[in-house]
């Protein structure tokens, strides 16, 4: 019985009590009151420190002033304030105007210049352009009109094609259509187109359309020559006169072309030099008319406004070689080079042939190099 009582009095504790993992945490404490106390203490401390620093600064300034007085340097009040403000913050301004007056900026040229109208855009979107702007000088559209007219039956008039496009056409638009009709061999349709244009007040009068019609009719030998040719040509403008001359040259009516040329010379009418070149090329095909060719070449040599394409210049050089006038060939080549032209391979070979025909073999070989 004694042993059992001792076991009851000395019972083993459980493991969690014999070997606790860690001591129990203390209860949560509210630090808000302590924080307020600390903030108040810090404020008091900073004020005390700042007061102490101000007192120390004043003492140092007084000591410096005393030292400066001893050395003969006297500090003024504004200087003392500036020095003391270095330790406090912003430097106080002197009494008076606090705003600094700045000079006005110089006037800029683009601000002095009066406002002008806005400049037009150089590159406009083609889809935004009006139909009239897209159509009235479009070669594809104008040539297409000529092909539509070609497809009409003999009973139908050209107004069937042109009337629907009348609001979108302008002066000079149908000149290309009329020339295309002449190229297609339809001078009657070209004349019908001109008659339709005459009835449209917004398209006529126009020298471009009149000149194109006369050139097509003269080139197809459909133009009736009036008895009083002098009076007829005297009223014509330069463009119409040259168009008539080109038409006669193209149609092979060289006598009428020479007559028009002589009439222009008598009336002191100045024509384009390219018309002379075309007439020389046609006359040069006939060896019996070499005298007329030389006369026209002399008239071209006198002109100061000589303007020839490389093709015309080369063709005239070939005619002069055929006539044996090699000096004219050399002169034309020199003129073409001095006028800023770039000779083609055909022109070089023509000049080589000219020098070979003139027995100038060394000069011909020089052209090769």
Residue 36 pLDDT exceeds 50: no
pTM of the predicted protein model: 0.59
HEC-encoded secondary structure of 182-193: HHCCCHHHHHHH
User: For residue 358, with 0-12 CB atoms within 10 Å meaning exposed, 13-18 middle and 19 or more buried, which class applies?
Assistant: middle
Sequence-distant (6+) residues with CB within 8 A of 136 are 168, 169, 170, 173
Question: Counting runs of H as helices and runs of E as strands, what totals does the chain give?
Answer: 20, 0
Contacts of 65 (CB under 8 A, 6+ apart): 75, 80
Among 27-36, 82-91, 117-126, 305-314, where is mean pLDDT lowest? Answer: 27-36
Instruction: Tokens 């900073």: give the residue.
Output: 46
Collapse the DSSP code of 12 into the 3-class scheme (helix H, G, I; strand E, B; otherwise coil) and give the result.
coil
For 320-354, write each residue's pLDDT tens digit: 999 999 999 999 999 999 988 888 999 999 999 99
Tokens in use for 321? Answer: 């070689």
| Helix, coil or strand: residue 152 | coil
pLDDT reported for residue 37: 46
What is the spatial distance between Cα 284 and Cα 291, in angstroms, rounded to a whole number? Answer: 10
What is the average pLDDT value for the chain, to the nearest integer? 78
pLDDT at 42 over 70: no
Provide mean pLDDT across the span 281-303.
88
């Amino acid at each position: 019985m004694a042993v059992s009582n001792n076991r009851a009095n000395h019972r083993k504790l459980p493991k969690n009590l014999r070997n606790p993992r860690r001591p129990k945490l203390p209860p949560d404490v509210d630090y808000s009151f302590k924080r307020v106390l600390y903030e108040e203490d810090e404020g008091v401390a900073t004020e005390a420190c700042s007061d102490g620093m101000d007192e120390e600064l004043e003492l140092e300034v007084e000591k410096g002033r005393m030292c400066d007085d001893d050395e003969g340097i006297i500090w003024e009040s504004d200087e003392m304030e500036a020095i003391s403000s270095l330790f406090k913050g912003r430097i106080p301004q002197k009494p008076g105007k606090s705003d600094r007056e700045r000079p006005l900026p110089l006037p800029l040229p683009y601000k002095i210049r009066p406002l002008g109208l806005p400049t037009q855009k150089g590159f406009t979107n083609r889809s935004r352009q009006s139909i009239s702007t897209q159509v009235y000088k479009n070669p594809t559209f104008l040539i297409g009109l000529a092909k539509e007219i070609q497809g009409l039956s003999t009973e139908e008039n050209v107004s069937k094609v042109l009337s629907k496009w009348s609001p979108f056409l302008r002066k000079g638009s149908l000149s290309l259509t009329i020339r295309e009709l002449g190229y297609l061999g339809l001078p009657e349709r070209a004349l019908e187109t001109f008659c339709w244009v005459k009835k449209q007040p917004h398209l006529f009068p126009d020298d471009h359309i009149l000149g194109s019609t006369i050139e097509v009719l003269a080139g197809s030998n459909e133009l009736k020559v009036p008895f009083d040719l002098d009076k007829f040509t005297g009223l014509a403008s330069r463009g119409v006169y040259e168009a008539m001359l080109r038409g006669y040259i193209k149609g092979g009516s060289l006598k009428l072309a020479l007559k028009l040329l002589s009439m222009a010379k008598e009336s002191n009418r100045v024509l384009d030099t390219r018309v002379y070149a075309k007439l020389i090329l046609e006359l040069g095909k006939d060896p019996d008319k070499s005298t007329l060719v030389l006369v026209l070449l002399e008239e071209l040599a006198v002109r100061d406004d000589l303007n020839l394409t490389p093709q015309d210049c080369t063709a005239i050089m070939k005619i002069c070689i055929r006539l044996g006038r090699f000096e004219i060939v050399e002169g034309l080549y020199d003129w073409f080079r001095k006028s800023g032209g770039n000779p083609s391979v055909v022109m070089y070979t023509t000049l080589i042939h000219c020098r070979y025909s003139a027995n100038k073999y060394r000069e011909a070989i020089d052209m090769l190099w």
